[in-house]
Amino acid sequence: MIDRRNMLQGMAAGFGAALGSTLCTGSVQAAARGTGSPKRIIFFMQNQGFDPATCIPKGMTGSGSLAKAKLPEPIEALEPYKERLHIINGLHGMHTSPSHSAFFGALGGYRGSDGVPPSASTIDYELSKVLPQTLLPHLCIGMDSIENMTTKPTIATLSASGAGQPIFMHSNPNHLYQMLYGGISTGDIRLQHEARSNVLNQIEKLAAANGRSLPTTDRQRYGQYVQGFGEINGLRDRLGTVSDHLRKFAPKVDERYTKPEFETDWHDVLLDLGISALTSGITNTLTIGSGRGEIFGAWKGLGVEQQGHNLGHMEQPDNPIWIKIRQYNSRMLVRIMESLESVPEGSGTMMDHTLIVYTSNNADKQHTNGANWPVMLLGNFDGAFKTGCFTQLDGKRPINALFATLLRVAGQNVDRFNMSEQLAKKFDASIGPLGEVLA
């Protein structure tokens, strides 16, 4: 399996060749190269937990069809899309030791905690390596309060490419727009893009030169920073080679970017950028952190004055505050589906080859032992997953089993994900994928 660095270095030629041959047919499949049907996956991680009562229809105590069920108020926006929905209850993440958040452990399936670096790669990164290669293998966006998104425009709490190698999520939409579309913009955005590009080029050169004088023990760690600048600069150059294609997908910049009234204005345009990265073919793996994997987060734009840690101390079922937040999330999920459904791909649409995984970075609630970790799947990943149903599991299989299942349907023959035989004896009652959720 090729590593991320080699994948990035070898991408431009393959992307350009594929793009040129298929743009005439109007297909964004050109953004990926490789064999088989194009696939993409989206992880939507809500902080403060995901209470099962906010997603399981009343009266459903066992597995069954959703056809005649009425979805709970918090996710009622998904009612027209029930045939594409699969609600899963009864997975666990006790071994991740969540409390306020499992942090990297939520997508890694291992012990996580505040300030603790990742102990291995996370499932979103691993899938980005398996799925058809794109210019930007993996994009992470994070939504928080305006204050947090402004003072910390990038943060790493959920995704990782390996042990001690966190992946940063983007929270300032102006910075992300410049990174993705600055090269095709005009006016101030183009000037800012060019100035930022010049600075990053200089930093990469200076960092590379200064790193040679460091002791051997520090040189490898410093080299990761240099590589990071190199990847950013290389991405900018590669995006420039397909500028005409990208112009069709770049979102319109309005005052929500520069003069947001509420933090939800930035949440909305960050989602627009994530969707555009998918539909344009820039990436096929998107991770969304609502609350950025921590215990903070704000939704004043929804009329919710409370924010941060206090939200986690509220019961979610029948709570008007959490109903508003979950409904907002559900509308975001609908926006993603409708956008992908509008783009033809093969004999269907992009949504036919996509899977959205909606869950929390903290199991079922803020203060939890991880004994129940509800998940919603939307889409079927090219027919791989059952849809239009609810599956109740017995609580004996970990979230790692779902992640191993995702890798299986993406083409990797694995039985476990980030779980040793010793750990599995204690926390996993079986081996292999979750047969209950596969079509």
Domain's final residue, options 197, 221, 249: 249
Clarify whether residues 127 and 202 are in a common domain: no
List strand residue ranges (DSSP E) for 35-106, in order. 40-46, 64-65, 85-92
Say yes or no: 218 and 143 in one domain. Answer: no
- The answer, yes or no, to whether residue 25 has pLDDT greater than 90, is no
CA atoms within a 13 Å half-sphere pointing along the CA-CB vector of 219: 9
- For the stretch 44-103, pLDDT in tens is 999 999 999 999 999 999 999 999 999 999 999 999 999 999 999 999 999 999 888 999
> Are 280 and 306 part of one and the same domain?
yes
Is residue 234 domain-shared with residue 314, that is, in the same domain?
no
Residue 235 pLDDT: 74
Position 238 confidence tier, pLDDT thresholds 50, 70, 90: confident
Write down the pLDDT at residue 301: 97
Burial of 31 (0-12, 13-18, 19+ CB in 10 A): buried
203, 348: one domain = no
Ramachandran category for residue 90: left, alpha or beta (phi over 0 → left; psi -120 to 50 → alpha): left
Task: Check residue 164 and give its pLDDT.
Answer: 93
Residue 178 lies inside a defined structural domain of this protein: no
Q: State the total domains in the chain.
A: 2
- Give buried/exposed letters for 247-283 (b at 16+ CB in 10 A, else e): eebbbebeebbeebebbbbbbbbbbbbbbbbbbbbbb
Is residue 148 located within the same domain as residue 257?
A: yes
**6 versus 217: which is more confidently predicted?**
217
pLDDT at 230: 52
Out of 201, 226, 249, a domain closes at 249
Which neighbouring-strand residues pair with 360?
Answer: 46
241 & 262 share domain: no
Tell me if 21 is assigned to some domain.
no
Which residue segment(s) compose the domain that 311 sits in? Answer: 4-8+36-173+251-437
DSSP E strand boundaries for 117-188? 139-143, 154-162, 165-170
Question: Whole-structure pTM over 0.75, yes or no?
Answer: yes
Same domain, 386 and 278: yes
